[in-house]
Amino acid sequence: MFKNYLKITWRNLLRHKAFSAINIVGLAIGMASAALILLWIQNEVSFDKFHEKNDRLYSVYNRSVFDGKLWCWNTTPKVMGKIIKQEYPQVEDVCRTNWGSTFLFTVGDKHLNLQGNFTDPSFLTMFSFPLVHGDKHTALNTIHSIVITEKLSKKLFGNDNAMGKSIKIDSNAYFTVTGVMKDLPNNTRFSFEYLMPWTYMTKIGQDDQYWGNNSIQTWVLLKPGVTEALANKALVNVTKSHSDTKDIQQFVYPLSKLRLYSKFDEKGHPDGGRISTVRTFSLIAAFILLIACINFMNLSTARSERRAREVGIRKVVGALRGSLISQFLGESVLIAFIAGVIALVAVQISMSGFNLLTDKTLFVPYGSVSFWLVFVGFILFTGLISGSYPALYLSSFKPVSVLKGTFKAANAIITPRKVLVVVQFWFAVVLIICTIIIRQQLQYAQDRDIGYKKDNLVYVSMTGNIEKNYLAIRNDLIASGAATSVTKTSAPITQGWSDSWGYTWKGHMDKNKIDFNIFNTDGDFVKTMGLKIIAGRDIDVKTYPTDSMAMLLNEAAVKIMGLKNPVGEIVNNGEGKDARHYKVVGVVKDFILQSPYEPVKHMLIQGPKSWFNFIHFKLNPANTTANNLKRAEGVFKKYNPDYPFEYNFVDQEYARKFGDEQRLGTLASLFAGLTIFISCLGLFGLATYMAHNRIKEIGVRKVLGASVTSVTTLLSKDFLILVMIAFVLAIPMAWWAMHTWLQSYAYRVPISIWVFVVAAFVTVFISLATVSFQAIKAALTNPVKSLRTND
């Protein structure tokens, strides 16, 4: 029986090649799109869940009230981890990681600037990053031990075993490779090429015992049986118990939730994060697959008259409805299988492009048994969903009516087929509207005045001897004609690396704790960055020696501090012998340091008596960029010969701030286009079939004098009515979805009426073009030929 059903199915596919092709292509595109999205979703939801002790791993968070709002953040003092390990029995183990350090690695004639982490030895036993060589219990126990990844091992030593080999770090330290780690998976929040022991961080003076310096992450492994609630109760006052800070509390947050639930509301409760994007794309995957299935349903039921006699004869000879349902479901599963194989090929071909688009390294796990089980289940699910309605519909025909020739397809005002077409285009229109608004929001932020001139602005990390030779480098950059101005800074102008509170000034209310963005400079900051001075002047130590303790404020800082005449005011930080007293010498126009989607935060720009990590310099516009960089490279090589000249363009770094939104917009455009294509594919098939069914009617109308235009309108209007109904139903859904999405941006675009007008025009134009092709073709057919046909 199964073999017989298979033969019938195959013959039906070959007999109606056009409809078979439309069905298979539509399903294949839908399945491939859904598969790509599901691979992306699987990667997101599996982040850091591969660790063996995942259920006991937590990140330590702080919370306190700033500017009248409760803030939660997961940077902690460096001393906190040691205290938790010593004094809190609820915790089995603790490790700390910094946000990344860059060192020059030298092996033979190879010189590489590489980024890695300082951490405690317990990192390797708490987290499941397996070592292919070395012992995880002892690999980081000595001050000059280092663990490198397999990828880095190949960079430095080729195919040789790296264990026990020596690496020169910067110009004065030698480390021994005590472990080679398997390359990090693509679903972890950690990103490093090597691990160095925390003891070396202490040796080079980058460790401190200051409870006010929240600059690293602290991870805890709770003992078995210790719940999150018990840990939070025990750790709530770590800072309060060991420092003078009394208004900061601690809590732990599961590592498994950090990726998807990273936002907190004003009460300190988790309030979403990337999970909203995951849910959105889950719906998109489901709807794209559903639309592909709807195509199959519509085309199968549209051809119902042609299969009615087959059903009638089968029932007359004794076939039960159940066996007919099984046959039709089997046909749909076979088509889904063919489509699934094509989809898998399409996924593999498009994987590299999709990875580039999503900034991930996804892959199809062909070697996994579970993958093939899921793949088979995916095909069965798709086949059963797409074939369910046609199977029930076709198997319901009454043999008497069918064999008498009195059977006719339903022509009611509302039919399942019309509803399915409306559902298809409803979702397509929603995606079109959402895509337009996402693009608008991206452009809206990109067009925002950033407050400084990013063109021809370059920054270089102060590695090696750069800091020692800074004055000579600055002078030579200008003298060589490579740059017009140079300044030292604590961070890139595109990033906010530091924030702090505890500053006081005349009229400050002690109860009002304000957190400021902190930026440090040695002078010529305004000139180099192209900022606009609102009041006062730039920091200038050469002209004003006392400017070593000068300070610039931005407009937002002046406003929140309540200063009417800020120039000349004294801003204090700290107490006793460590207290610092800054004199405000100028106010600059607000400029975007962090997110271009948020209001500019209040900022304090401190003078030369500070710490620095970068040099920014403005390239000379009189020369070409290549010429300027060549001259600059010569200067840096002169004073820092052991280090490669590595630079960053500020405009390129700023553009990266829009990466997530650009990816979201591109993905939305891609899937909107695929949705429209699949929907139009089905519409094309329906239009083809309807035109064929009404071929005699068209012939009669033409004989009686009907024009091509009137025949085309006759065949097109019903489909256009369905599309317009879908558009009307899509408007409230699209508006609600985009209104909700835009609420996460303080700086956002308004939803304009023209967006819906454009979406309506695009949808109607595409659907009309799809239907009209077949309608015009039918209208131009010779009526003599139409009336002679026996089909």
What are residue 86's phi and psi, to 5 degrees?
A: -80, -35
Q: What is the pLDDT of residue 303?
A: 61
Write down the residue that tokens 């591969």 correspond to: 50
**Looking at residue 326, what is its pLDDT?**
75
Rounded distance, CA 356 to CA 655, Å? 16
Q: Which two tokens stand for residue 122?
A: 């317990």
Type and span of the H or E element at 520:
strand 516-520
DSSP, collapsed to helix, strand or coil, labels residue 186 as coil
The confidence score (pLDDT) of residue 785 equals 61
Residue 354 and residue 36 in contact, taking contact as beta carbons nearer than 8 Å: yes
Contact 683, 772 (CB under 8 A): no
Among 286, 304, 309, smallest CA distance to 401 is for: 309
| Identity of residue 651 | D
| In the chain, % of residues over pLDDT 90 | 45
List the chain residues with pLDDT less than 70: 1-16, 18, 300-321, 389, 391, 393-415, 509-511, 688-705, 708, 711, 715, 774-775, 777-791
How far is Cα 685 from Cα 302, in angstroms, rounded to an integer?
9
What tokens were used for 466? 């750069």
> Residue 507 corresponds to which tokens in the numbers above?
């009229």
pTM across the whole model: 0.83
Structure token pair of residue 467: 């800091």
Strand partners, 533: 588
C-alpha neighbours within 13 Å on the C-beta side of residue 496: 19
Q: What is the pLDDT of residue 790?
A: 53
Q: Determine the pLDDT at residue 67.
A: 78
β-bridge partners, 667: none
Structure tokens at 188: 């972890």
